[in-house]
Amino acid sequence: MKKILTVIFSVLILCLSSSSVLAETVVFNWKTLKYHKPSCQWAQKCTVNCTKVDKKEAIKHGGKPCKVCGG
């Protein structure tokens, strides 16, 4: 019985950790309220007003996707 519980528990942990990997990180410009993919040229140029945040977080703060990279 204990063994089954351990298996269920480890599967749960695995699901939780893989879902956090799926959460997209974007580079959010707090001044223009645009978010970029980290690979975007504008994200790399933006060093003063930008921070890496969760995409959901950026949208929550009124963020709009960049026209170049699509967010």
User: Do the Cβ atoms of 38 and 27 come closer than 8 Å?
Assistant: yes
Element (H, E) at 67: none
**Position among 24, 25, 30, 42 found at the interface with Zn ion (CB under 5 A):** 42
Q: Which of residues 18-37 bind Zn ion (CB under 5 A)?
A: 36
CB count in 10 Å sphere of residue 28: 25
Q: Judged by CB under 5 A, which of 26, 28, 29, 40 binds Zn ion?
A: 40
Q: Binding segment for Zn ion among 8-16, 17-25, 46-54, 60-68 (CB under 5 A)?
A: 60-68
Distance of alpha carbon 27 from alpha carbon 65, whole angstroms: 10
Tell me which residues touch Zn ion (CB under 5 A): 36, 40, 42, 66, 68-69
